[in-house]
Amino acid sequence: MCGIVGYVGTRKVVPVLLAGLRRLEYRGYDSAGIVYNHQNRLVRHRASGKLSELEAVLDDHIGVESSIGLGHTRWATHGAPTELNAHPHSDCTGDLVVVHNGIIENYSSLREALKQKGHTFCSETDTEVLAHLIEEHLIDDLAAATRAALAQVEGSYALAVLWAKDPETIVAARRQSPLVLGTDAEACYLASDIPALLPYTREVVFLDDGELAVLGKGQYSIRQLADGSEVHKESTTIDWTATMAEKGGHRHFMLKEIYEQPIAIRSTINGRIMPETGRILLPGLGISDEVLTGIKRIVLVACGTSWHAALVAKYWLEKWTAIPVEVDIASEFRYRHLLLHEQVLTLVISQSGETADTLAGMRRAAQFGSPVLAICNAVGSTMAREADGILYTHAGPEISVASTKAFTCQLTTLFLFTLYLAQLRQSIDPAVQKELGLQLIQLADVMSALIKPMQKNMQAIIESYYEARDFLFIGRGLNYPIALEGALKLKETSYIHAEGYAGGELKHGPIALIDADMPLLALAPQDSSYPKTISNVQEIKARQARLIVVGSEGDSQLAELSRHHIFLPKVHEELNPILYALPVQLLAYEIAARRGCDVDQPRNLAKSVTVE
């Protein structure tokens, strides 16, 4: 939800800002803009549409002599994605500009009050009030004026301010939206997310809620917004590299990230399973074994794809630890009447660690004394820092809006956590645990051998189905959430209307949709639900649906029943959801690419949803 970059140093600023925005474009791509200080004057360029539109406008300004500036890529909340509504937004004089990610909730009363005082507004955005409000307080100290203005503001923000009359300073602040500083000897960088900093530095400082930073050439200071007191923070060295956030020869990030899954899963498992014994080690978990042993209930909270990972984990956790599990969509959980206490573990799952609803959910759970464990991919994210315990997924940076490798790494981590809890509570036979652990280790190799041939063999299916208007997915048990995930992947990347159902639910309504035009993909591995799934497949075939099955290698019965089949090697049935995620991801990718869709940046979406 909007990406912010800032730079003050010795380099020419325009290329630094554009490179940063390029890496943050996944956060919003309705419009973009930059501002830099040139000879004590602020020069602003904005364009509606994708970043390439702004780049075209900036063709003649790449080499401009300026080494301080801000950039923004927008996901519209207030006001259409026009050039006038694009950030940066300026005060009345044009000497002060603001870029912002978040929502100013009291903007309309502030705007009215500022208009009364003679301020003129040019956009429909909530952000513009920030520029005028800071202008109202500004005498000669930009940081003090920003602090005073923010004291009047309700809502969420990560923001950065530039003032023509202070040409070597950027002021930034955050409340409920992410912001990270990058540092080196000669410069300071600012970004909504780490990938924007990676080409320049891996030394980062995470800004916390209620903090304000003043950035200069190679130096910065941080203060509390509330009382102005100084905050001393250690920097963190990030182990992601710049190339990890590039396409590496693939046509889209989504495809690259699908291909990266075996490596990402290996990194997620690395050092967490002892191959000789199958024991699980989760050092630095942050929640003691004693607390975990006393847990009476687990509540899983997440959004979107991460919620699908939670649905799979319910099956695993209940089966192997015998602890009752609830799964909640974060936007529902945060407003629900909660029955939580110290012996209920709240487990939040998020790739970004910044999703507003999930964050709010975890904060509410903490108010009840529930220990909170976060499963996150983004290092140093708000969730990772605020939770009592953290398990990182080690998928590396995920850029495509459609989540793929983060999902299978979430599943891997949830499976590891299940085994860890089962081991602690002695609810699993050690021999079974060892077998499951070893199979999980081998799974990455199975996937690695599979992706390329699967992509190739899928082409006939893509040609038959890429023009479909609707698509159904079914699965049972552990594969039901994968049916939901397949439908979500397809709809978000290709805009085909798609729904996922539990196989047994079909005859309670959705079967009415089936006719000879309806494509239906059935997940049908030879697992314990297989006989029931076959009955569903028969029912579907009897109604002439265009049936694709994804099943176990050599299943001739399935091959006969379906028009198309994708066969996968047999693995332990507990691991099927990780393996069966692959074909539904690839199918969605290939169909979207065949339809000429903007695969990595689907319309109306943004990678991390930092507003409610």
- In angstroms, what CA-CA distances link 257 with 121, 165, 252, 303, 452? 43, 45, 9, 20, 13
Q: Does 304 bind ligand AGP (CB under 6 A)?
A: yes
* Contact letters for ligand AGP, residues 471-500 (x by CB under 6 A): ---------------------x--------
Enclosing H/E stretch for 591 = helix 576-594
Position of tokens 């006939």?
A: 460
Polymer length of the chain: 612
Q: Which is nearer to ligand AGP, 391 or 571 (CB)?
A: 391
Would residue 607 show up in a list of annotated catalytic residues for this protein? yes
CA neighbor of 597 nearest in space, from 400, 457, 352, 395 = 400
Q: 534 with 524: CB under 8 angstroms? A: yes
Q: Does 355 bind ligand AGP (CB under 6 A)?
A: yes
By CB under 6 A, the residues from 396 to 455 that bind ligand AGP are: 401-403
> Which is the catalytic residue, given 12, 314, 405, 607?
607
Least spacing, CB of residue 489 vs ligand AGP, in Å: 6
β-pair type (155-163, 96-104): antiparallel
Span of 24-32, 297-305, 445-453, 544-552 interacting with ligand AGP by CB under 6 A: 297-305
> Which is the catalytic residue, given 2, 188, 303, 409?
2
Q: Which is nearer to ligand AGP, 150 or 303 (CB)?
A: 303
208 DSSP assignment: P
Span of 162-170, 345-353, 469-477, 547-555 interacting with ligand AGP by CB under 6 A: 345-353
* Contact letters for ligand AGP, residues 367-406 (x by CB under 6 A): ----------------------------------xxx---
Span of 118-126, 352-360, 367-375, 446-454 interacting with ligand AGP by CB under 6 A: 352-360
Least spacing, CB of residue 605 vs ligand AGP, in Å: 6
Least spacing, CB of residue 571 vs ligand AGP, in Å: 24
453 vs 71: CA distance, rounded Å:
42
CA neighbor of 25 nearest in space, from 43, 48, 1, 55 = 1
Choice from 303, 313, 414, 549 touching ligand AGP (CB under 6 A):
303
Integer-rounded Cα Rg, in Å, for the chain is 25
The per-residue b/e assignment along 132-143, b for 16 or more CB within 10 angstroms, e otherwise, is bbbbbbbeebbb
Q: Which residue is nearest to ligand AGP (CB)?
A: 304
Least spacing, CB of residue 11 vs ligand AGP, in Å: 31
Alpha helices in 25-168 (DSSP H): 51-58, 107-116, 128-137, 142-150
Q: Which is nearer to ligand AGP, 233 or 595 (CB)?
A: 595
Least spacing, CB of residue 302 vs ligand AGP, in Å: 6
Q: Which is nearer to ligand AGP, 190 or 303 (CB)?
A: 303
Interior CA angle at 552 toward 486 and 484, to 5°? 15
Phi-psi category of residue 169: left, alpha or beta, with phi > 0 → left and psi -120 to 50 → alpha? beta
CA neighbor of 536 nearest in space, from 521, 517, 555, 516 = 521
Least spacing, CB of residue 270 vs ligand AGP, in Å: 22
- In angstroms, what CA-CA distances link 336 with 12, 331, 333? 51, 9, 5
CA neighbor of 376 nearest in space, from 366, 365, 363, 389 = 389
By CB under 6 A, the residues from 102 to 161 that bind ligand AGP are: none
* Contact letters for ligand AGP, residues 256-295 (x by CB under 6 A): ----------------------------------------
465 DSSP assignment: H
Q: Does 176 bind ligand AGP (CB under 6 A)?
A: no
Q: Which is nearer to ligand AGP, 99 or 609 (CB)?
A: 609
Q: Which is nearer to ligand AGP, 352 or 455 (CB)?
A: 352
Q: 482 with 580: CB under 8 angstroms? A: yes
Q: Which is nearer to ligand AGP, 74 or 89 (CB)?
A: 74
Q: Which amino acid is at 463?
A: E
Edge-to-edge strand list for the sheet holding 3-8: 41-48, 31-38, 68-74, 3-8, 188-191, 180-183, 203-206, 236-237
**How many residues of this chain bind ligand AGP (CB under 6 A)?**
15
By CB under 6 A, the residues from 516 to 545 that bind ligand AGP are: none
Would residue 2 show up in a list of annotated catalytic residues for this protein? yes
Enclosing H/E stretch for 201 = none
List 160's β-bridge partners, or say none. 99, 172
Position of tokens 């199918």?
A: 587
Least spacing, CB of residue 401 vs ligand AGP, in Å: 5
By CB under 6 A, the residues from 549 to 568 that bind ligand AGP are: none
Q: Which is nearer to ligand AGP, 171 or 302 (CB)?
A: 302
Least spacing, CB of residue 175 vs ligand AGP, in Å: 19
Choice from 67, 268, 358, 423 touching ligand AGP (CB under 6 A):
358
* SS3 of residue 395 by DSSP: coil
By CB under 6 A, the residues from 593 to 612 that bind ligand AGP are: 608-609
* Contact letters for ligand AGP, residues 211-240 (x by CB under 6 A): ------------------------------
492 vs 600: CA distance, rounded Å:
10
Span of 15-23, 109-117, 144-152, 300-308 interacting with ligand AGP by CB under 6 A: 300-308
358 vs 349: CA distance, rounded Å:
8
Q: Which is nearer to ligand AGP, 267 or 351 (CB)?
A: 351
Q: 312 with 414: CB under 8 angstroms? A: yes
Q: Which two tokens stand for residue 585?
A: 């991801």
Q: Which is nearer to ligand AGP, 77 or 106 (CB)?
A: 77
N- to C-terminal Cα distance for the chain?
Answer: 11
176 DSSP assignment: B
Residues making contact with ligand AGP (CB under 6 A):
303-306, 350-352, 355, 358, 401-403, 492, 608-609
The residues assigned a catalytic role are 2, 607
